[in-house]
Amino acid sequence: MLDSAAGRPHAEGMLIINYGAGLDSTGVLVGLHQRGVTPDVIIFSDTGAEQPHTYAYLDVMDAWCERVGFPKITRVKYAPVRAPYTTLEGKCLSNETLPSLAFGGHSCALVFKRDVMNKFLKKDARVLSAIARGETITKMIGYDNGDRDRKRAEKSERSLARLRAKKLSAETWEAHTCEFRYPLIEWGWDRDRLAQEIEAAGLPVPQKSSCYFCPAMKLDEIVDLKRKHLPLFERAIRIEQGARDGRNGLRGTLGLGRKFAWEWLADATTVDEAREALRAHGAKDTHQARP
């Protein structure tokens, strides 16, 4: 349990926050501050293709962390040994493909988020010292107390159990080294409560955090991106076109929308126009849930 009186996790230990700059992970930081608990590391993995509002919110949160005595957010990035790209956009363009989520996978989040953070933490002097002292390394994950995120937490625990049953390796380091906590579920905070607590802390409620060409984006989010950041929408279309015309084509998907191509929305200026564009191609607005 968190020792709120001492302001530390456990009697001895290290607390790491996987920060995503969205509602849930921001709520974790706000809730910890309320309870007098200071994390040791707050880490954010930058895919190099985050939405502009996410980069802006990171600056807001850095200022808030400094104000409340939290450590500054550590920003890490993908650094391949041989690949000719350093961003998710670069990978898609170089390999003539889409983010894995467009094909029903999740490797983009694993490679450009989880693995990047773990690579940094495995070499971080603070983490190595804590491990050498035999301290508990606790990672807090921002799954909220809604039905969908509770199921995600349960799935995460099952995955961790499978990894802990394997030998220690680069893939299993996190599972073998860290304890995982889901504080928003422990506190009973759903998304409405999160927004209330974040506003009460004097912070703006963050917008959804994702890459600007994320296949999980809803139709209104795509239209909003196009209206506010047309060059980014056009870059997303280039990614889609590169995959469509590339050596492997679009196998098992129609485009960044999975069941539709973002290219179809090129002339749409409103959500209604976007829906009409989909209907013209025999598709529907499924308003996909975010992963």
Tokens of 229: 């950041």
Higher per-residue pLDDT: 82 or 223 = 223
Q: Stretch 222-248: mean pLDDT, rounded?
A: 95
**Cα separation of 122 and 125, whole Å?**
9
Tokens of 8: 């530390």
0.75 exceeded by the pTM? yes
Please report the pLDDT score of residue 4 as a whole number. Answer: 39
Confidence of residue 287 (pLDDT cuts 50, 70, 90): low
**Is the sign of the CA dihedral 201, 205, 211, 214 positive or negative?**
positive
Whether 74 contacts 41, CB under 8 Å: yes
SS3 state at 75:
strand
Please report the pLDDT score of residue 248 as a whole number. Answer: 86
Task: Measure CA 142 to chain center.
Answer: 10
Tokens of 216: 């999980």
Helices 52-68 and 23-34: angle between axes, nearest 10 degrees: 10
Q: pLDDT digits over 2-23, tens only?
A: 443 334 344 358 999 999 999 9
Confidence of residue 286 (pLDDT cuts 50, 70, 90): low
Please report the pLDDT score of residue 8 as a whole number. Answer: 39
Q: What is the mean pLDDT of the chain?
A: 91
Q: pLDDT digits over 70-127, tens only?
A: 999 999 999 988 889 999 999 999 999 999 999 988 888 889 999 999 999 999 999 9
Q: Stretch 227-243: mean pLDDT, rounded?
A: 97
Please report the pLDDT score of residue 68 as a whole number. Answer: 97
Q: What percent of the chain has pLDDT above 90?
A: 85
Q: pLDDT digits over 23-35, tens only?
A: 999 999 999 999 9
